[in-house]
Structure 1
């Protein structure tokens, strides 16, 4: 069929009216007819009248229909088309994404290295050479990205249209259109479950165009599939037929401020949406900022021969894509002039409902009405602060100092569950959020920015939160980082009485056994530091200064005496006289704590230089360690063994792990008992 015989040509107005012509397009729209429609849409009058009604017809034909959609964005009525585009964004059905079956199945047995290689290589196709016009038929081998799923192509194309449309609308209050657009983009993005990095790059590109930012986007990984989101439009766009301002008119400062704040707020919400929905990965929570920071600043802690988390982020494609996406958003936030002070202020401020979210007829009246995302601001701030260390930028990125007290404490209070809500929720937030909050604490430690707690109570409140994180987090990785942060901040407190109070409160009141084990470790560390085998002065918390006669409380019997009832509790009622099942549960819950306390008392008995100074013999007798702590453990262990043998009531509890644990307890009890003889030698 010749071009003139094509119904899209034959029925062109005035041969038919616009409504009839739209119907003809709908019935004759095929992939083969798209080039014809593209030529037809170069008529500005036609496209102004029918363009907005074509959007929903063309979106299902992407990416083939992209040229036509760009024509509509350039030449259609921008106010009408923008409504259709935002509507189409909301209607994208991401759940229909299907992974291609063939290529994936053939790689099922491939090695990791081969899979990585193939995932980074595009199919080889032929394309005309640069001299194609001079030498017809000449071609060269090129790499083409794999096709994106239709919903992703739709998102990318629609955002490209929006960037063009917003630049065409000439009105005193363009922020009213921008507010609606940002809501539609964010709503659509939040519905996507895969290819989110591609969507992020499309968002970054669109915002840069909206703001007229000329800095090119950072180069993305080849496998991201977003090397190009379609042809770059160089053709001239039509004027706004309903313009209320001239093309050269400057926006008022008030309106410019609203637009900038809208985009700033939008970016913080995109970061929140992207990061809090990153897929869970063993030992890699979100961006794994904590682990990567510790590997950077304390490389001596890395176990030789093991793959580090940092190496994984340099080699694994999915993790590299995360770094790409966050890097793009961080750079864009910088271009939008979002300051660290603004981010910190938003992170510790109770979040309001963003203007316009309850109804798009109510756009923000001022920039102050537009809040940044609280969690998104914190995540963006963390990305900046960790990057300064990870990539040696040498900048703190803020004129405002950020310290443990009061800044990090405020972030803990506002970005994680409050302990007042119950100890069961703190630490169960998304791992990426916990990782980010803890990473900021590690940044403070690296900069030696502890600050001054307003009161001892505030100091204890901070440690209670980080200690609970070290107990409650499901991720052992994050528990370890929380424990390190807690221990380091605790040791930073110059008042040894304040440190002792926190340790005692933890041992006495904390319901978590692993946290009580940590508390035993803290008192052990304090005792060793305050009482070196060879006395010296001026080093550590425990040593008094040369002109001070007041020793550390940990260098006197007072500290251990005050802790003894909680370090070596009376266990007879819990483990010996209690009903068997209750005793067994109590034993299983606390056995790690029992072992930690036994090892500590073994240290006290073996370190002869402590015996007189800390009155260890009196402690042993007065606290009844042998009778109230050691003997009930012996009796309980024997009781449980008997019930595990010969069809006893604990037969089902018997396992290699349980038996090994009970044997370890027997051995430790025996070691402590033998070490008691050292008390008679001093």
Structure 2
């Protein structure tokens, strides 16, 4: 059909009224007619009268209908169109991949480490495109790499927020925050419902906010070509004026402050939504793995596999490198919006429950900047990104986004306060400590590691505050499902514990952990702490008869005296007869399984005390052995329990169903360890 014969041309007003013409457009709308609609929408009067009603009709035809939507954003009534756009954002239906699909995706991305696989995965079917002159002649084509098409829902999101980038600057009103508040809520609600291509969506969000605010800083380049940079198209065509624009006066300072706070809050909520809902990875990669990357850089001796570090993986694996690109964009946007470190920290420890910008039910526009809260979690994540960058990227100076009078962040009281408010506070509603999102735990622990690297310990206000800090970090080292994060929490707890100059305070915390902690792996850590204290306080050169200078008795550590071990002995080598011998075999077996690692760790520590002859005199090991009946109440019940369980695990025993090669190996290891300790007792008679 010739263009002049198209109903979209023949029915143009004044041939029909606007309502009738809109009906004709709806009835005849198809991909073939979109170029004609694009042409007729250049009429500003037509765009103003029917543009806002076309939005919901054009969205299903994306990406082909993007030009028409841009026409409506440029020339339609911005106040009406913006309402339709925000409504359409909320109505986008994203596909929800099930857990199996996510696992398959995760494994596929992990397998892409092979260079051949990655090369093939980046080769798309369409590899040729015409040169700039468009002539079809030999040599006029060149090889280009085109990304695969985006899902329809993602294309709809990108196109709609691209419209918002045009619409908001067009609206001239004394109270722009009323439109902005509704827009930001709709963007966040839609982004929260998405499941894939979130980096492309996030980049489009950043670009839209910059366009709305007039920020001139160019976008940060991505670390690899990923199609992210083309997420939002730039339109430089003519924009019509706001037909209802208010030109009576400038926007008030109060309104400008509210607008800025809305955008700052929005950035924190987007950060929270992105990092706390990252797709699963095939390996243990919590969030941005800030903790692991800091430890690899600052303590390479603690890295097990130097050939496959987290830092290299975040450079090499596309799924991980895109995380860095995305967070980098958000950090720079927060800086451009004037979001300071002090403001982020204040939000992170806010006590009162404030309404959230990201609530699905649309909230009323705020009356003032004070009514707009930052996201607590998002604030912590952004602050961590800034602080860790000074270590990871060798930024010698303080974050450029910080105000000159920002206070130094220290373990006490700053990090302790974050632990209290962001992880362990019941008001957070996150359940048992350690079950919070891994990205959040990684961020919190990374801030603690950053303080250690800067030697920013601060001073605890009391022993109670010190113990509270250690209890939280120690519990994280026990409860967190991620082995990666458990290790970092243990390092943090151990280092902070050793920083306490008061020997008695350290001993008291170790005793409290051994006596009251219900977690076996944390009691194992406590044995490690007392072992470390004992070795450090009693070097071999302190043996009697050594020619060196005798230590000052008043300067001696409490761990260099018998008192420390004597006070801890009932919990290091507890009486086990009732639990393991007297109790019914099924109940005893359950207790044994829960505490086996602790038993083995205590036995190994006991072996050290027996074999290290220079400890015998200083720490009165012979008296410790006799006074606490270590042989009769701790060692012998373990030996008898091993034999008891061995019989019960036989084919006709009560625990037959529990028998596995692993269980048999554990009992064998216990028996061998007990015998090794028993043989070492003879050293007590040689000193």
SS at the partner of 2:619? coil
Return closer, same or farther for 1:489/1:146 CA change in 2, 3 Å cut-off.
Answer: same
Q: Does 1:553 align with 2:550?
A: no
Moved more, 399-408 or 75-84: 399-408
- Counterparts of 2:78 and 2:427 in 1: how far apart (Å)? 52
Once the two structures are superposed, residues 544-595 of structure 1 have per-residue CA deviations (whole angstroms, 9 ceiling, x without a partner) of 9987724211011100110011011100111111111011111111111111
SS of 1:612's partner is: helix
CA distance in 2 between counterparts of 1:136 and 1:23 reads 48
Counterpart position of 1:394: 396
Q: Give the deviation of 1:115 after TM superposition.
A: 3.0
Judging changes above 3 Å, is the alpha-carbon distance between structure 1 residues 253 and 133 closer, same or farther for their aligned structure 2 residues?
A: farther
Shift >6 Å, 4+ stretches: 96-99, 106-111, 133-137, 419-424, 543-548
1:229 to partner: Cα distance = 3.6
Q: Shift in Å at residue 471 of structure 1? A: 0.4
User: 1:145, CA displacement in angstroms?
Assistant: 2.2
Contact 2:185-2:357 at 8 Å conserved across structures? no
Aligned: 1:515 with 2:517: no
Alignment match, 1:415: 422
Counterparts of 2:96 and 2:25 in 1: how far apart (Å)?
26
Question: How far apart are the structure 1 equivalents of 2:340 and 2:41?
Answer: 44
Aligned pair 1:621/2:626, yes or no? Answer: yes
Cα distance in 2 for residues equivalent to 1:567 and 1:114? 55
| Larger relative contact order (CA 8 Å, sep ≥ 6) | 2
Secondary structure at 1:145 match in 2: coil
Structure 2 counterpart SS, 1:140: strand
The match for 1:675 is: 680
Q: 2:512 aligns to what?
A: 505
TM-score by length of 1: 0.93
C-alpha separation in 2, matches of 1:108 and 1:634: 46
474, 478, 481: which one aligns with 1:471: 478
Query: In 2 relative to 1, CA 419–59 (structure 1 residues): closer, same or farther, beyond 3 Å?
Result: closer
Equivalent residue for 1:490, pick from 475, 494, 497: 497
Where does residue 39 of structure 1 map in the other structure? 39
| 2:670 is equivalent to residue 665 of structure 1 | yes
Once the 2 structures are TM-superposed, how far is the Cα of residue 129 of structure 1 from its aligned partner?
Answer: 2.7
- From 194, 202, 209, the equivalent of 1:207 is 209
CA shift, 1:619, in A, is 0.4
Partner of 2:442: 435
Q: Which residue of 1 aligns with 2:636?
A: 631
Q: Aligned to 2:459, what secondary structure does the other structure show?
A: coil
Cα distance in 1, alignment partners of residues 211 and 223 from structure 2? 21
2:269–2:357 Cα contact (<8 Å) kept: no
- Aligned pair partner of 1:571 in 570, 576, 580: 576
Q: Shift of the alpha carbon at 1:295?
A: 0.7
Q: Residues 629-681 of structure 1: CA distance to partner in whole angstroms, max 9, x if unpaired?
A: 00101111111111222411112222211111111111111111111111111
Residue 326 of structure 1 corresponds to: 327
Aligned residue number for residue 375 of structure 1: 377
* Residue aligning to 1:185: 187
Q: What do residues 441-488 of structure 1 show as CA deviations (whole Å, max 9, x unaligned)?
A: 111111111111000011000000000000001111111111000000
- Per the alignment, residue 590 of structure 2 pairs with 585
Checking the alignment, whether the CA contact within 8 Å between 2:85 and 2:160 is kept in structure 1 is yes
Report the alpha carbon displacement of residue 526 of structure 1 after superposing the two structures with TM. 0.4
Give 1:423 deviation, angstroms.
12
Deviations 1:408-467 (A, max 9, x none): 011001111338999970001111111111111111111111111000011000000000
8 Å contact from structure 1 (residues 491, 499) kept in 2 = yes
The CA distance in 1 between the partners of 2:332 and 2:496, in whole Å, is 32
Contact 1:190–1:273 under 8 Å retained in 2: yes
User: Aligned equivalents of 2:53 and 2:19: distance in 1?
Assistant: 10
Residue 61 of structure 1 aligns with which residue? 61
Distance 2:233 2:360 in 1: 36
The verdict on how the C-alpha distance between 1:441 and 1:545 changes in structure 2, with shifts beyond 3 A counting, is farther
Q: Which residue of 2 aligns with 1:146?
A: 148
For these two proteins, the number of residue pairs brought into alignment is 670
Query: 2:176 pairs with 174, 177, 184, which one?
Result: 174
SS in structure 1 opposite 2:229?
Answer: coil
Find the aligned partners of 2:672 and 2:29 in 1 and give their Cα distance.
82
2:124 touches 2:146 (CA, 8 Å); kept in 1?
Answer: yes
Give a deviation string over 1:286-328, Cα, whole Å, max 9, x none. Answer: 1111111111111122224641222211111111111111111
Counterpart contact for 1:605–1:679, Cα < 8 Å? yes
1:335 match: 336
Q: Secondary structure at the match of 1:166?
A: helix
Residues 124, 141 of structure 1: 8 Å contact kept: no
Match of 2:365 in 1: 363
The 1:286/1:355 distance shift into structure 2, 3 A limit, reads closer
Unaligned runs of 5+ in 2: none
Q: Give the deviation of 1:2 after TM superposition.
A: 1.4
Deviation at 1:388, TM superposition (A): 1.2
Does the C-alpha gap of structure 1 residues 111 and 627 become closer, same or farther in structure 2, counting only changes over 3 Å?
Answer: closer
Contact 2:128 2:144 in 1 (8 A): yes
Q: Deviations over 1:338-373 (max 9, x none)?
A: 111100110011341147969757311111111100
User: What does the per-residue CA deviation read over 1:21-76, in whole Å, with 9 as the maximum and x for residues that have no partner?
Assistant: 00110111111111111110000011000000000011111111111101000100
Alignment of 1:88-487 (within 5 A): 88-95=88-95, 112-132=114-134, 138-220=140-222, 224-229=226-231, 231-245=233-247, 250-281=250-281, 282-304=283-305, 306-350=307-351, 351-354=353-356, 362-397=364-399, 398=402, 399-418=406-425, 425-487=432-494
8 Å Cα contact 2:73-2:163 kept in structure 1 = yes
1:500–1:559 Cα contact (<8 Å) kept: yes
Which runs of 5 or more structure 1 residues have no equivalent in the other structure?
537-542
Q: Distance in 1 between matches of 2:583 and 2:89?
A: 64
1: CA distance, partners of 2:313 / 2:663: 35
**Separation in 2 of the partners of 1:544 and 1:228?**
73
Taking a change above 3 Å as real, the CA distance of residues 6 and 151 of structure 1, as seen in their structure-2 partners, is same
Residue 394 of structure 1 and its aligned partner are, at CA, apart by 1.5
Per-residue CA deviation, residues 163-195 of structure 1 (Å, 9 max, x unaligned), is 110000000001100000000000000000111
Within the alignment, does 1:532 sit opposite 2:539 as a pair? Answer: yes
For normalisation by structure 2, the TM-score amounts to: 0.93
Asked if the contact 1:419/1:465 (under 8 Å) is kept, the reply is no
CA 1:313 to 1:137, structure 2 compared with 1: closer, same or farther past 3 Å? closer
Q: Is the 8 A contact 2:357 2:363 kept in 1?
A: no
Asked if the contact 1:497–1:553 (Cα under 8 Å) also holds between the matched residues in 2, the reply is yes
Q: Offset of 1:223 from its aligned partner? A: 5.8
